[in-house]
Amino acid sequence: MALQAQALAEGLGRAGVNVKLLPTNPSGPLWLCRLKGVRTLVQSIVFLLRLTRALSGGAQVVHLLAASHWYFWLRVAPTVVLARLFGRRIIMNYRGGEAPQFFKRFSWLIVPIVRRADAVVVPSGYLQRVFEEHGFHPEVVSNFVDQERFRYRQRDRLRPKLLVTRSLEPLYNVKMALEAFVLLQRKYSDATLDIVGSGSEETALKEWVRRQGLRGVCFHGAVPNERISDFLASADILLNPTNADNMPLNLLEAFAAGVPVVTTNVGGIPDLLGSVEAALLVNPNSPEEMAERVDELLCHSDLVVRLTERARLLCDQASWSRVGKRWREIYERGAAERESKDASAADQNVI
């Protein structure tokens, strides 16, 4: 979400929109952030103070990248309240694969907050259906990928060189990729697996690898997004073992680099692929199935070429030239609506 926010701000800025990017996880006093349970409170206070300053400084539109769970209560809801108090237009750009469960549990609290937004935008048909179930009519604007950052390479003969680019959190189920790798290494002794990302499960996953005596697994930790293109350039297959997702950017990045993908069929991923066979789908928590699909890619070069060519076309639809046009339309429509309301209010004052 942070990467999309940065890219969106840069793209809108090039289009002439005056954008101020406000991080939702600002840094606070270092000594306070070290205290257990205090970091979240400090970040929340700093964020709200900066938001208030930006709103009082004349910002006319609040483009809010929203998500579920605690982020919704600590960032989304307060932002909506403050923006309304200042009379600003709110674009709620909702994302996150766990929205169905979140809405099912807390819809009576969530719906009134979302209704305060002037526009609701989601990146997939998957989330569109979630919001429609609760009486909203969101617009769909895809996530986008900067294809210039990636060098497309057609892979017709693959090596068993695998890559995972997900946070090491329970939601993304990286252990499933490791379990699939165990099965693959029985056939491909030279197989390797690079894991890019960090998170709460990092220590436990490393310990699991150690206990299994696995060779060829390398944990790289969190890396700057600019380096992802280097990992994709040297990889031959991307594994995406997540338990929930919306429109994952890591798949679009792999498509842009020509890396074939084996992914779980959860959330918005089938919507992203549509009727185009641009990746191989497996069921969640199915390492055996994931290993079989990887083996299928390694054994059939014609399948690899077919998948990656279709994926490249799919990636073209997520370019900034297409997505940026949709965002400009939403911004311009909002400006026109505001001018119409201001004119109507002026007429009423005259009367």
Q: Which of the given ranges, 23-32, 94-103, 326-335, has the highest pLDDT on average?
A: 94-103
Three-class DSSP category at 294: helix
Q: Would the pTM of this model clear 0.85, i.e. be above it?
A: yes
Taken in order of first residue, the domains within the chain and their CATH numbers are 2-144+319-350 (3.40.50.2000), 148-316 (3.40.50.2000)
More confident residue, 272 or 16: 272
Q: Would you place residue 261 in the very low, low, confident or very high pLDDT band (cuts 50, 70, 90)?
A: very high
- Sheet of strand 217-221: strand arrangement: 217-221, 192-196, 161-165, 237-240, 261-264, 280-282
pLDDT at 65: 92
Cβ-count burial of 70 within 10 angstroms (0-12 exposed, 13-18 middle, 19+ buried)?
exposed
Cβ-count burial of 190 within 10 angstroms (0-12 exposed, 13-18 middle, 19+ buried)?
exposed
**Cβ count within 10 A of residue 104:** 11
Task: Evaluate if residue 211 carries a pLDDT over 90.
Answer: yes
Cβ-count burial of 67 within 10 angstroms (0-12 exposed, 13-18 middle, 19+ buried)?
buried
Task: Evaluate if residue 245 carries a pLDDT over 80.
Answer: yes
User: Could you read off the pLDDT of 53-94 as tens digits, one per residue?
Assistant: 999 988 889 999 999 999 999 999 999 999 999 999 999 999
Residue 48: its H or E element: helix 39-56
